[in-house]
Structure 1
């Protein structure tokens, strides 16, 4: 909730705390997010090792970071839809499906970047 009385560093610190609460709740409640975090823990060091140039390393790592970012947005959309009502509704299902498609595309994007950068090195 917006609080116009909190400004400057206090606002930044509070915003950081809210962000950490969001990470914590998503990690606790969303299996997909937990899987993506563990994949990051394994793949980020691998991307840093396999990339030959700073640009390659950045592309490998950043393509991975997009996946949990999109998953956080997907989880937020799902939570909002569920908050409105648990009954089946075409628009609710569409919103969840579209958010899920965004997660799929982020994973496909990361896979494409890794493939385009690494497969030519092994051929």
Structure 2
């Protein structure tokens, strides 16, 4: 039980550290809160909630993975290296693509409700 508790503790520490240091993560969390409030106001269906929550969770998880990749690359080398740049850029591209898909999902869910 102690190991389980420690794993939750470490995960919470990681989340807090990421929230303190990563502007994009804070933007995603803020956006998620607004979207959830909008979901309640628009009375979206259970299926729409599932899609929305999976999308929000996916974006936050992907941003955390991106942060972990960036930190790992920074730890591996303090020099500017083409492969280090590629690793960071590719991880950022994954976040960017998922953010675009998230906006499209949001539009598909909310546009019919507000028009």
Q: Which residue of 2 aligns with 1:6?
A: none
Q: In the TM superposition, what is the alpha-carbon distance from 1:19 to its structure 2 partner? A: 0.3
Q: Which has the larger radius of gyration?
A: 1
Q: Distance in 2 between matches of 1:22 and 1:88?
A: 26
1:51 and 1:57 in contact (8 A); partners too: no
The structure whose RCO (Cα within 8 Å, separation 6+) is larger is: 2
Q: 1:68 aligns with which of 42, 56, 60?
A: 60
Note if contact 1:26-1:72 (Cα within 8 Å) is conserved in structure 2: yes
**Other-structure match for 2:21:** 29
The answer to whether the aligner puts 1:53 opposite 2:69 as a matched pair is: no
Q: How many residues align?
A: 115
Question: In the TM superposition, what is the alpha-carbon distance from 1:116 to its structure 2 partner?
Answer: 1.7
Identify the residue that residue 4 of structure 1 maps to in structure 2: none
TM-score, normalising length from structure 2? 0.89
Unpaired runs of at least 5, structure 1: 1-8
CA RMSD of aligned residues (A): 1.5
CA contact (8 A) 2:42 2:113 kept: no
SS in 2 for 1:36: helix
> Counterpart of 2:11?
19
Q: Alignment partner of 1:52: what SS?
A: coil
Unaligned runs of 5+ in 2: none
Q: TM-score, normalised by structure 1?
A: 0.84
Q: In structure 1, what is the equivalent of residue 83 of structure 2?
A: 91
